[in-house]
Chain A
Amino acid sequence: MIITAEHSLLPSIPWGLTRATAPLPRAEASYDHVTLDPATQTTAFRDRAAGIVDMAKSKVTVTTSKGGGSDGSSGSSNVADDSNTDS
């Protein structure tokens, strides 16, 4: 393949990225760690003292901020867990 001079003059920042917000404020983590109940296989969100954190109001943000968001395949990352245009 011949690399042309014109090709090498392309801007390096894609236009779409210039439309991104400034880094979003980091939401203070509402939990410290997650534990799996071996009997039920549900997970519980806990604070530093191992107390249960009620995640009722965080049913989306937890997975956009701390995990998930991908199908495990190498080509499908960078996705907010639930999204409109970001998925």
Chain B
Amino acid sequence: MLVLTSAEDVTANLVIEVLNERHVQVARVDPADIGTDLLFGASIGDEHTEWDGRLRTPSRDIGLAEVGAVYYRRPTSYVSRFACLPLVEQQFSAAEAQHGLGGVLRTLHGAVYVSHPDAIGRADYKPAQLQTAAQLGLAVPRTLVTNDVRQARTFAQQGPVVYKSFRGVPPGPDGSRSAIWTQQITPEELDESVAVTAHLFQQEIPKIADARVTVIGRKVFAHRISTPDGALDWRSGDWEQLAHDPIDVPEPISNALCAYLDHFGLVFGAFDFALEAETERWVFVECNPNGQWAWLPDADAMAQAIADLLLEGWWS
């Protein structure tokens, strides 16, 4: 069993503990450790039609052909691994590691992936998320993606609109971090600098609460999340002040979420919904295909569910 993640990933620890309880041989590997602390060799050809070889960390020596399952969590980026190198060397090393080691690790024959990084990558795009959700019958907010300020202004004139970034703000050179919380905007606030890059504008949903639905395989874990101050974006406040209450997911919605995962080839999804005021209609906001869940009240049960998925049809 391979767990691909960074050392700092608290979430993976919960799953590894469960796997240890089930006597599974676990190897935790951060591919960005590539170097003398992570050596690998993989070969194919002659009578071998599948990659085989070994991956060695200071504490594990792993036969690639023996890996039955991969828990793909949050590996460190190769770019940050090589950040100390000059630009050309950094980009070369990162791209070669990505395609060489990363390429082998995403091609382990017969291994179960939770979830496969290619599926996670496809499902990471908000336009793909919204279209898939809409096609599966889920309510989605009216949304405009554009770099045309005229279209953005026209859209914003049609009612309360929020702006969301796709990927957030990169850290500054000194490591400082800023955030772009979901926020209301007015047409007057927009200017020609919208043209510089793509922007996402969305109808603001008048909501009474949010819902986080985590689907693991076919198991559904759902909570209603309320903020003490009714914040538009619950991430912007103190997470310890959030109220989590169990909530039943209407069957048509849970069925759509399973179909959503199938569409992308995922086996895990952290779905966010806005619960519309008055109607309590569930409005799809987004799905994080590799979202965190360790902070949720059901974390222990979720860790068990992920271990179940990893071991489905396979035992080591």
Query: Which residues from chain A sit less than 8 Å from chain B, CB to CB?
Result: 10-24, 26, 34, 36, 38-43, 55, 57-60, 62-63, 65-74, 76-87
Residues of A within 8 Å of B288, CB to CB, are 82-83, 87
Residues of B within 8 Å of A85, CB to CB, are 164-165, 168, 180-182, 233, 286
**Contact between B8 and A62, CB atoms less than 8 A apart:** yes
Q: Which of B50-100 contact A (CB under 8 A)?
A: 58-60, 72-80, 91, 94-95, 98
**Contact between A59 and B10, CB atoms less than 8 A apart:** yes
Given contacts A20-B179, A38-B59, A71-B121, contact A43 B8 (CB under 8 A): yes
**Contact between A72 and B78, CB atoms less than 8 A apart:** yes
**Contact between A11 and B193, CB atoms less than 8 A apart:** yes
Report which of A15, A24, A80 forms a contact with B194, defined as CB distance below 8 A. Answer: A15
Residues of B within 8 Å of A66, CB to CB, are 8
From B26, which residue of chain A is reached at the shortest CB distance? A41
Residues of A within 8 Å of B16, CB to CB, are 40-42
Query: Within the assembled complex, what's the spacing in Å between the Cα atoms of A10 and B163?
Result: 21
Query: Which residues from chain B sit less than 8 Å from chain A, CB to CB?
Result: 3, 5-11, 13, 16-17, 20, 26-28, 31-32, 58-60, 72-80, 91, 94-95, 98, 102, 117, 120-121, 124, 149, 163-165, 167-172, 176-183, 185, 190-197, 199, 233-235, 239-240, 270, 272, 285-286, 288, 290-292, 294-295, 299
